Amino acid sequence: MGSNFGINPMKEESIEFIKSGGVTAPRGFLAAGVSCGIKPRKQNDLALVVSQQLADVAAVFTQNRVKAAPVLVSMKRAAKGKARAVVINSGNANACTGQRGIEDAEQMAAVTASLLGCSPDEVYVCSTGRIGVYLPMKKIIKGIEKACKALNVEGYSDAAEAIMTTDTVPKQAALKVKIEDKEIFIGGMAKGAGMISPKLATTLGVITTDALLSPEYLNWVLRCCVQETFNRISVDGETSTNDTILLFSNGMAKNTIISSENPHKGIFKNALRLVMDRLARAVLEDGEGVTKVVEILVQGAASDKEAEVVARAVGNSLLVKCSWNGEDPNWGRILCAIGYSGADVDQSKIDLFYSGTQVVSSGVKTEVKINRLRKIVKMPMFSILIDLHKGEGQYRFLSTDLSERYVRINKGE
Amino acid sequence: MGSNFGINPMKEESIEFIKSGGVTAPRGFLAAGVSCGIKPRKQNDLALVVSQQLADVAAVFTQNRVKAAPVLVSMKRAAKGKARAVVINSGNANACTGQRGIEDAEQMAAVTASLLGCSPDEVYVCSTGRIGVYLPMKKIIKGIEKACKALNVEGYSDAAEAIMTTDTVPKQAALKVKIEDKEIFIGGMAKGAGMISPKLATTLGVITTDALLSPEYLNWVLRCCVQETFNRISVDGETSTNDTILLFSNGMAKNTIISSENPHKGIFKNALRLVMDRLARAVLEDGEGVTKVVEILVQGAASDKEAEVVARAVGNSLLVKCSWNGEDPNWGRILCAIGYSGADVDQSKIDLFYSGTQVVSSGVKTEVKINRLRKIVKMPMFSILIDLHKGEGQYRFLSTDLSERYVRINKGE
């Protein structure tokens, strides 16, 4: 099965992943993560990522019609397309908090801006955590002051920790890519771990690069890579009120500007997608109660859209997810989900494979031994290939199992 | 809150629920439930319901595009509109079993028909259980022989037990209703308890009546009552491959024929809906791992369809269902689900009530104390009223919590 959504690192482009350095791997970025007392036990809960010079910024936000205050505030910034920083708190989503929530988010930007010496509309704001609770602004303001003092090129891991909610590990990625004679760095951080089923945006993610890009291309390439990575994962079919992904580019690599006319633009796009793919996979692997990551590839659909409908129905089926958790190769539930997906399928044409082993041929079970399938579904990662034999449409989707632990995590307050 | 989906028993119609007697409460029906060895531990796993004279039958089937063999076989019967019996096995769904599955289902009908002395196309066939396994036909045939010998007016509970899968209790209802000077009986049985999110049909249900109805009205009234009862419940958002509901009417009450012209038709419809509502609620209450039944009423939507979209998004949200299981009045997750439902909502207009207590006003939390909400969500049944303040559309939907036990039940083979 193709990991990385079929993206190959392509050695000829001399892409090199960097172990240390997430959002501060690119030149000119500083970060900090501090504890300001929103979360219990002095965990980091306030993050700051700052570009030393004004950066071009592309942003994608949740498609949820109920948008958190920081999303509404950040959407206003997006029109400008330029910013210096993003300030993020965890432990409280500042969602469904009305006018007071908006004022609080604006104040987070204003306090950060005054300490950095920039304009408030050059500071993005993100929040993640429980919905419907007002922010403890005194703590937040103290936290922002603390974070501004702590800003450092080594602050990337503290920042990645400070945006965690039920995540068990911070999620970071960074790489170096050579375009012509210039070394370009791309770094990023993201959070999970529940309410993960992004639509056009997801969760919280901050990506930084020192590459110089045209604003048009910056926007296009972020949307494109989001579609191919974050928008194809699901832990629980829930689209959050707070999903935001920001891509900062400060041009400090001094490369020839990357625009839609640049012949090397594909190298940058591939590199960006690799970073985002790593982050998206890390979100899934650390999903609440997750023990399996399953890649679902649907092909032979009438259209890519129909393939997507089928892949999402299978990947979001509770019964399919429970069977994965129990390491039960219950292909019948997968066929059932295909059937109710809404796609116009002919059951007598469906083929189904588990990691390359055919289980269903023309809608009926093959002679494959159940023990062979059991071995496959015991793996922490396996693939399901569904061929509808109708047309050329295809879609790739990553999902997870559903465990008792997921329920346990989400039933408490 | 209105239980019974707002249906009132209406005493003036002299409806009287009957404690004993499910499908055999109406005159002229016999039933049996026997063990034939599909399920372990000699549990009943084969049911037979027979009308002593040829009955008019209305049927609704699953909308899943992957249909089990017995559904395909029964759909052929439905065109005829008349039948004598239905034979049902549990423990094996006979789904995704190709041509052999169809032949097996046809044989079940043929064996039953020859023992009852009727035509094979006068016998409906239903199966429920694991998908993708061939039926053990020798056991089934012996079971049908045993069931035909056991047929009895007292056999209703054995039959209701024989269609159970993960159900913990059999689901039956029966009532007597007076129309003009005639007493009419309606009885029924149904099964749960997972893969419950019917679309135009659900699960397995057999309803019997000795009323005389015109075939047109019989078909219309079944569809209408299914829409108002079984199609408004969900345990897990899964639409089964085997869903079937049959309504047998044998006319033995000798009433004036009930058709769309009959001024008393509403009395029959109301009585039928009451029986089906009881069965649908019983399916939910006994849903896999269910500890709460929650009624979701959406009003003020642009259309009934939009209200339905919102109600289903809330009722099928994993995070909302987990919070119900944990008795956590987490209204933020409900607002989140409303937001991603796809409905074009304005968050600043949303009102939300828990069993009559307002929690959200114009998208923002009211002053209500959390302890008051906690008391409500501790109840085994409560209601969520969502007002979108857009128009006149409304929809009522019943859902359940999601428990660790649901996952435990469904992870095993």
pLDDT in tens, A334-363: 998 898 888 999 989 999 999 999 999 998
What is the per-residue pLDDT for B332?
Answer: 87
- B125 vs B6, higher pLDDT: B125
Q: How far apart are CA A167 and CA A194, in angstroms?
A: 8
Lowest-confidence region among A123-137, B89-103, B230-244: B230-244
For residue B194, what pLDDT band results from cuts at 50, 70 and 90?
A: low
Q: How far apart are CA B24 and CA B172, in angstroms?
A: 11
Segments in B243-397 forming alpha helices (H): 265-285, 304-316, 318-325, 331-340, 370-377
Q: How far apart are CA A336 and CA B243, in angstroms?
A: 12
For residue B6, what pLDDT band results from cuts at 50, 70 and 90?
A: very low
Looking up tokens 């929650």 gives B294
Average pLDDT on B223-240 reads 76
Interface test with B, best of A195, A238, A318 (most B CBs within 10 A): A318
Question: Is the complex ipTM more than 0.85?
Answer: no
Q: Which of A14-23, B186-195, B280-289, B302-311 has the highest mean pLDDT?
A: B302-311
Question: Greatest CA separation found in chain B?
Answer: 70
Q: Answer whether B402 sits within 8 Å of A404, measured CB to CB.
A: no
Strand pairing category for B244-249 and B204-209: parallel
From the CA of B83, how many Å to the nearest CA of chain A? Answer: 28
Average pLDDT on B258-266 reads 87
Q: How far apart are CA B403 and CA A285, in angstroms?
A: 22
What is the per-residue pLDDT for B13?
Answer: 62
From the CA of A199, how many Å to the nearest CA of chain B? Answer: 9
What is the per-residue pLDDT for A235?
Answer: 67
Stretches where chain A sits below pLDDT 70 are 1-13, 193-202, 235-240, 413
Neighbours of B197 (CB within 10 A): 22
What residues of B are in contact with residue A330 (Cβ under 8 Å)?
A: 131, 413
Q: How far apart are CA B292 and CA A66, in angstroms?
A: 26
Q: How far apart are CA B173 and CA B175, in angstroms?
A: 7
DSSP tag of B212: -
Q: Which two tokens stand for residue B23?
A: 């499908």
Average pLDDT on B189-218 reads 74
Q: Which of B24, B97, B128, B202 is catalytic?
A: B202
Do A356 and A350 form a contact (C-beta atoms < 8 A)? Answer: no
Count how many Cα atoms sit within 13 Å of the Cα of residue A244 in the half-sphere of its side chain: 30
Is-catalytic flag, B202? Answer: yes
Q: Is A128 left (phi over 0), alpha (psi -120 to 50) or beta?
A: beta
DSSP string, A12-73: GG-EEE-SS-STTSSTTEEEEEE--SSSSTT---EEEEEEEEEEEEEEEE---SS--HHHHH
Neighbours of B11 (CB within 10 A): 8
Rg (CA), chain B: 22
Over residues B211-230, the pLDDT tens digits come to 899 989 998 888 888 888 88
Neighbours of A378 (CB within 10 A): 11
Q: How far apart are the first and last CA of chain A?
A: 39
Task: With both helix axes pointing from N to C terminus, report the angle between B318-325 and A404-411 in degrees, rounded to the nearest 10.
Answer: 70
Over residues B345-359, the pLDDT tens digits come to 998 899 999 999 999
Q: Answer whether B404 sits within 8 Å of A407, measured CB to CB.
A: yes
Could you tell me which residues come within 8 angstroms of residue B112 by beta carbon, excluding any fewer than 6 positions away? B48, B85, B87, B123, B144, B148
What residues of B are in contact with residue A360 (Cβ under 8 Å)?
A: 96
Interface test with B, best of A203, A236, A288, A336 (most B CBs within 10 A): A336
What phi, psi does A36 have (nearest 5°)? -120, 0
What is the per-residue pLDDT for B238?
Answer: 64
Among A199, A318, A322, select the one facing B237 at the smallest CB separation.
A318
Distances (CA, A) of B12 to B173, B274, B337: 20, 15, 42
Interface test with A, best of B63, B367, B410 (most A CBs within 10 A): B410
Q: How far apart are CA A210 and CA A221, in angstroms?
A: 15
- Angle at alpha carbon of residue B408, lines to A294 and A231, rounded to 5°: 30
Q: How far apart are CA A133 and CA B370, in angstroms?
A: 12
Q: Is A410 annotated as a binding residue?
A: yes
Q: How far apart are CA B114 and CA B122, in angstroms?
A: 11
How would you class B358 by CB atoms within 10 Å of its CB: exposed for 0-12, middle for 13-18, buried for 19 or more? Answer: middle
Q: Which of A112, A202, A209, A241 is catalytic?
A: A202
Among A65, A328, A337, select the one facing B345 at the smallest CB separation.
A65
What is the per-residue pLDDT for A14?
Answer: 79
CA dihedral defined by B217, B220, B223, B225, rounded to 10 degrees?
-60
Q: Which two tokens stand for residue A29?
A: 């970025």
Domain architecture of chain B: domains with CATH:
4-285 (3.60.70.12), 293-411 (3.10.20.340)
Size of interface A-B (CB pairs under 8 A): 198
Q: Answer whether B335 sits within 8 Å of A131, measured CB to CB.
A: yes
